[in-house]
């Protein structure tokens, strides 16, 4: 799933064409993922051509205030703050304060050095499954996708890798993608994210920051995703039950999602 070459939206991807087995694939042009939309140019022909009608923003209130979305003309914004509960109990996790951490190597090392970054991301990914705000947010996404009259939808967070990565995993798993397809799609964002944040990485290392810590903050690794998948297995037993019981999405809505987003080979 190569990135869509939009100049004003980082890490923009269509989940379409990804294989689902038995000659099926994800339908093109209906569900997209990206980083934040604060630089979106309505005149960008690549983005305009997608016809996006709904934008689901997974960011915190602070992130949205600092860099408000520019919604495509005719589009509707749905706010779904995944980390609201996490913020109330534990403070901002690394996924929501990347730029602050990367601007201060000493702060990053103090709080996240020595493997603590990886542990913090694993905790955050488990919260994607278990916290009330995350469950409400991912339910909102699936309910939007399950509207039979919905148009193309884009979901995003800041970098488009963690909150957004879990959303893509949930959607693809519901559609029947196998584990390798899900993992490959999740990891495929790494080059685009690193490119988008290249100035921050360079500044971080020039100030003496550990480049491995920068990559732990800005990249995704299988262990992060596995933490969320393990949380699903422990709490619900399967992705189907997580969606039905944990997110409260009706089976009828899941059926519409599968109908809308799946295409069979001719």
Which strands, in side-by-side order, build the sheet including 31-34? 13-14, 31-34, 153-156, 54-57, 76-79
Map tokens 């995944």 to a residue: 82
Neighbours of 209 (CB within 10 A): 25
d(CA 13, CA 149): 22
Q: What is the mean pLDDT of residues 89-117?
A: 77
Dihedral (CA of 216, 221, 223, 228) sign:
positive
d(C-alpha 170, C-alpha 70), whole Å:
26
Give the chain's domains with CATH numbers: 13-264 (3.90.190.10)
- CA gap 129, 208 in Å, rounded: 35
- Considering Cα of 243, then 245, then 248, then 250, what sign does the dihedral take? positive
Write down the pLDDT at residue 92. 63
Q: Are 137 and 81 in contact (CB under 8 A)?
A: yes
| pLDDT tens readout for residues 218-262 | 889 999 999 999 999 999 999 999 999 999 999 999 999 999 999
| Model confidence pLDDT, tens digit, residues 28-82 | 999 999 999 999 998 889 999 999 999 999 999 999 999 999 999 899 999 999 9
State yes or no: pLDDT of 174 exceeds 90. yes
3-state SS string over the chain?
Answer: CCCCCCCCCCCCEECCCCEEECCEEECCCCEEEECCCCCCCCCCHHHHCCCCCEEEECCCHHHHHHCCCCCCCCCEEEECCCCHHHHHHHCCCHHHCHHHHHCCHHHHHHHHCCCHHHHHHHHHHHHHHHCHHHHHHHHHHHHHHCCCCCCCEEEECCCCCCHHHHHHHHHHHHHCCCHHHHHHHHHCCHHHHHHHCHHHHHHHHHCCCCHHHHHHHHCCCHHHHHHHHHHHHHHCCCHHHHHHHHCCCCHHHHHHHHHHHEEECC
pTM of the model: 0.92
Mean per-residue pLDDT over the chain, rounded: 91
Residue 54 contacts residue 150 (beta carbons within 8 Å): yes
- The share of the chain scoring above pLDDT 70, in percent, equals 95
């Amino acid at each position: 799933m190569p990135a869509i070459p939009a100049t004003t939206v980082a890490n923009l991807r269509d989940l379409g064409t990804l294989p689902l087995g038995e000659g099926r694939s994800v339908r093109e042009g209906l569900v997209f993922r990206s980083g934040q939309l604060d630089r979106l140019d309505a005149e960008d022909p690549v983005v305009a051509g997608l016809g996006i009608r709904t934008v689901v923003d997974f960011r915190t209130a602070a992130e949205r205030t600092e860099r408000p979305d520019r919604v495509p003309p005719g589009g509707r914004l749905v706010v779904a703050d995944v980390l609201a509960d996490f913020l109330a109990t534990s403070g901002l996790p690394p996924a929501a304060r990347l730029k602050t951490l990367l601007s201060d190597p000493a702060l990053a090392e103090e709080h996240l050095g020595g493997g603590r970054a990886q542990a913090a991301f694993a905790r955050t990914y488990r919260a994607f499954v278990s916290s009330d705000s995350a469950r409400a947010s991912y339910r909102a996404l699936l309910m939007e996708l399950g509207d039979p009259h919905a148009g193309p939808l884009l979901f995003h967070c800041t970098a488009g890798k963690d909150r957004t990565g879990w959303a893509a995993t949930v959607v693809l798993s519901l559609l029947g993608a196998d584990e390798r397809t899900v993992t490959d799609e999740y990891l495929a964002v790494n080059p685009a994210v690193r490119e988008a944040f290249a100035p921050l990485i360079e500044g971080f290392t020039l100030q003496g920051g550990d480049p491995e810590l920068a990559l732990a903050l800005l990249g995704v690794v299988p262990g992060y995703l596995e933490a969320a998948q393990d949380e699903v297995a422990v709490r619900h037993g399967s992705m189907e039950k997580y969606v039905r019981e944990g997110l409260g999405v009706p089976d009828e809505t899941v059926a519409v999602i599968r109908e809308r987003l799946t295409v069979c080979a001719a």
